[in-house]
Amino acid sequence: MTSSDRILSPALRSKLMNAEAAAALIPSGVNVGMSGFTGAGYPKAVPGALAKRIMDANLHGKNFKIGVWTGASTAPELDGALAMVDGVELRLPYQSDPTCRKRINAGEMEYLDMHLSQVAQFVWFGFLGKLDVAVVEVAGVLEDGRLIPSSSVGNNKTWLEQADKIILEVNTWQSSALEGMHDVYYGTALPPHRKPIPLVKVDDRIGEPYLRCDPEKVIAVVETATPDRNSAFSAPDESSRLIAGHILEFFQHEVKKGRLPADLLPLQSGVGNIANAVMAGLDQGPFNNLTAYTEVLQDGMLDLLKSGKLACASATAFSLSSAALAELNADLARYRERIILRPQEISNHPELIRRLGVIAMNGMIEADIYGNVNSTHVMGTRIMNGIGGSGDFARNAYISIFMTPSQAKGGEISCIVPMASHVDHTEHDVQIIVTEQGLADLRGLSPKQRARVIIENCAHPHFRPALNDYYKRALLHSEGKQTPHLLDEALSWHLRYLRGGQM
Ligand code: COA
């Protein structure tokens, strides 16, 4: 594969250069919008070259830092490389990189954790400041300069529109059969000029398969042939299998009650191994003709597409293991009919999630006995990843499900606690909590009714008596009886753990 195969525009081909030369065009102090979403479609060469430049500058006593905006998490070549050289002033909107996480938690990097659906519009509103440079991976360039998106769409449309300057990475490793899989919606507008988004079914196409790009703004084109970061999923363990089982049973119950159709409603499945295990469970389950309106397409969903259980899936990115990706790429032309990749402002759009009646299923760190959910902060202060799309989906879903094993760190931590040490999803946005112990259906329940169901159905038996004890004493001694708490004790479980013991 040569540049002439993938870069058909002579104007853009004339801007070909190596990554070092392209990185030299990014000055210190700028905000850079990078492509990339859960390890798919991030630029592979320029960030590394930029990190080297930053390291050299810092060695010479200069303070070279940039703002890094992305779709979501990326990979060691981007987040890892830039964090390693302390080159990031502020990072947004989601990350999962260990080096990045360490810097954030050490107070060495500012991190703005945002709802993923809101990033593009916040840039348009001018809330985040100016976007100076876009560095976007694409699968190819058409003769007229339009771009074939890569394995994620993320915020690329907005980066290309809003940035003053654009650097493109054309990655020949990405399958050329990606062409036609994307649906980039160009009908967004600023309030008060917004119109309803004309998407009423998961597989509706409302946009264009290409990204528009002003060739005048392109300052560099870099060729790469490097794979995405494709992390393997662990095989579902006993706990994940039990969680999946409870969810499947719940779906069957809801169908029987007439609250869900026999083919359910569009599924959203969050990141991580449990979400993947739920998909595996659905593959063995009784439901057919399923659809997915989700953020990332993981292995489990690909399996569902393969088995025919899933009719179609809409997402903004792939998040596949290498093995699953090889399978997908071998047959991409066929899958293209049933997979649509959209900008994240559309894949996660509250209007569409509410209209379609999405069933949201997301992982969490902990929930409290009243159903407030912490998705992001370990022991209240240390960021794990970020809220991602969980808030976009949870608040607007038909049914919002949160799942976790009942214990973490070998049983030292209870994932059901008296009071969540940080709240991302309030009790109002959480309808179902599931652990391997069971499922708590919180719909229509008051806080006190919720507490009884959550403790009884979801807490680990090891921690259940202590939770019941807390709840009963709170009921007696709490000043207010709507959401009873003992304020001097509510976070004592976390403190006990931090002081070196068990919760
Ligand atoms: N207290 C402290 N640590 C906890 C914990 C708790 N209550 N619960 C889990 N953890 C730790 C685990 O021990 C594990 O740590 P390790 O990496 O050191 O092994 C880590 O958190 C991940 O937990 P795991 O059980 O493997 O769950 P996961 O892979 O399903 O991830 C989240 C769980 C919450 C971190 C993940 O779902 C997430 O980032 N969610 C927010 C974003 C989101 O929901 N995106 C989807 C929207 S489309």
pLDDT in tens, 334-344: 888 899 999 99
Query: What is the β-pairing status of strands 290-293 and 218-224?
Result: unpaired
Q: Which residues contact 134 (CB under 8 A, 6 or more apart)?
A: 32, 33, 34, 156, 159, 160, 162, 163, 165, 166, 167
**pLDDT category, 271, cuts 50, 70, 90?**
confident
- The Cα 26–Cα 134 span in angstroms is 10
Which residue is closest in CA terms to ligand 1's atom 37?
Answer: 363
375 lines ligand 1 (CB under 6 A): yes
Which residue is closest in CA terms to ligand 1's atom 15?
Answer: 409
Q: Which residues contact 115 (CB under 8 A, 6 or more apart)?
A: 93, 348, 387, 389, 391, 392
Q: 469-481, pLDDT tens digit by residue?
A: 999 999 999 999 9
Mean pLDDT of 139-144: 98
**pLDDT category, 15, cuts 50, 70, 90?**
very high
Which residue is closest in CA terms to ligand 1's atom 44?
Answer: 390
Amino acid 259: pLDDT = 98
498 lines ligand 1 (CB under 6 A): no
- The Cα 413–Cα 406 span in angstroms is 9
Q: Which residues contact 201 (CB under 8 A, 6 or more apart)?
A: 356
Mean pLDDT of 66-83: 97
Mean pLDDT of 52-74: 96
Portion of the chain with pLDDT greater than 70, in percent:
99
Residue 94 · residue 155 · CB < 8 Å? no
Q: What separation in Å is there between the alpha carbon of 173 and the centre of ligand 1?
A: 31
Q: 174-184, pLDDT tens digit by residue?
A: 999 999 999 99
Mean pLDDT of 147-160: 98
Nearest atom (ligand 1) to Cα of 414 = 7
Amino acid 232: pLDDT = 79
Portion of the chain with pLDDT greater than 90, in percent:
91
Task: Provide φ and ψ at 324, rounded to 5°.
Answer: -65, -40
DSSP-assigned letter for residue 428 = G
Indicate left, alpha or beta for 492 from its phi (over 0: left) and psi (-120 to 50: alpha): alpha
Nearest atom (ligand 1) to Cα of 272 = 29
Q: What separation in Å is there between the alpha carbon of 426 and the centre of ligand 1?
A: 18
Q: What separation in Å is there between the alpha carbon of 471 and the centre of ligand 1?
A: 26
- Is the peptide bond preceding residue 192 cis, with omega within 30 degrees of 0? yes
Assign 60 to helix, strand or coil. Answer: coil
273 lines ligand 1 (CB under 6 A): yes
278 lines ligand 1 (CB under 6 A): no
Asked if 295 is an active-site residue, the reply is: yes
Amino acid 2: pLDDT = 55
Nearest atom (ligand 1) to Cα of 296 = 48
Residue 418 · residue 490 · CB < 8 Å? yes
Amino acid 152: pLDDT = 98
> In the structure encoding, which two tokens stand for residue 288, read together?
């057919």
Mean pLDDT of 72-94: 97
> In the structure encoding, which two tokens stand for residue 303, read together?
């399996």
Amino acid 4: pLDDT = 62
Sequence-ordered strand ranges (E) for 150-295: 165-171, 218-224, 267-269, 290-293
Amino acid 234: pLDDT = 78
Q: Which residues contact 50 (CB under 8 A, 6 or more apart)?
A: 23, 26, 66, 82, 87
From 409, 433, 496, give the residue whose CB has the most ligand 1 atoms within 8 Å, as the site to mutate: 409
Q: Is 435's pLDDT higher than 70? A: yes
413 lines ligand 1 (CB under 6 A): yes
- The Cα 163–Cα 31 span in angstroms is 9
Q: What separation in Å is there between the alpha carbon of 423 and the centre of ligand 1?
A: 14
Amino acid 334: pLDDT = 82
Task: Provide φ and ψ at 100, rounded to 5°.
Answer: -60, -45
Nearest atom (ligand 1) to Cα of 362 = 44
388 lines ligand 1 (CB under 6 A): yes
Amino acid 235: pLDDT = 80
Residue 150 · residue 40 · CB < 8 Å? yes
- In the numeric block, the tokens 């790009």 are attached to 213
**pLDDT category, 3, cuts 50, 70, 90?**
low
From 119, 353, 365, 491, give the residue whose CB has the most ligand 1 atoms within 8 Å, as the site to mutate: 365
Amino acid 231: pLDDT = 81
- The terminus-to-terminus CA distance of the chain in angstroms comes to 57
Query: Which one-letter amino acid corresponds to residue 436?
Result: E
**Count of CB atoms within 10 A of residue 182's CB?**
27
Q: Which residues contact 390 (CB under 8 A, 6 or more apart)?
A: 270, 360, 362, 364, 375, 424, 425
415 lines ligand 1 (CB under 6 A): yes
Query: Which one-letter amino acid corresponds to residue 119?
Result: V
Q: In Å, how far are 119, 205, 356 from 199, measured between CA atoms? A: 20, 8, 9
Q: Which residues contact 237 (CB under 8 A, 6 or more apart)?
A: 273, 277
Q: In Å, how far are 203, 431, 433, 444, 455 from 370, measured between CA atoms? A: 37, 11, 11, 13, 9
Q: 440-457, pLDDT tens digit by residue?
A: 999 999 999 999 999 999
184 lines ligand 1 (CB under 6 A): no
Task: For residue 35, give the nearest of 141, 146, 166, 128 by alpha carbon.
Answer: 166
Residue 430 · residue 394 · CB < 8 Å? yes
Q: What separation in Å is there between the alpha carbon of 404 and the centre of ligand 1?
A: 8
**pLDDT category, 218, cuts 50, 70, 90?**
very high
From 114, 298, 384, 467, give the residue whose CB has the most ligand 1 atoms within 8 Å, as the site to mutate: 384
Q: In Å, how far are 229, 297, 375, 404 from 305, measured between CA atoms? A: 22, 10, 28, 25
Mean pLDDT of 379-407: 98
List 77, 169, 223, 295, catalytic entry: 295
Q: What separation in Å is there between the alpha carbon of 69 and the centre of ligand 1?
A: 23
Q: Is 325's pLDDT higher than 70? A: yes
Task: Provide φ and ψ at 297, rounded to 5°.
Answer: -100, 105
Which residue is closest in CA terms to ligand 1's atom 19?
Answer: 409
**pLDDT category, 277, cuts 50, 70, 90?**
confident
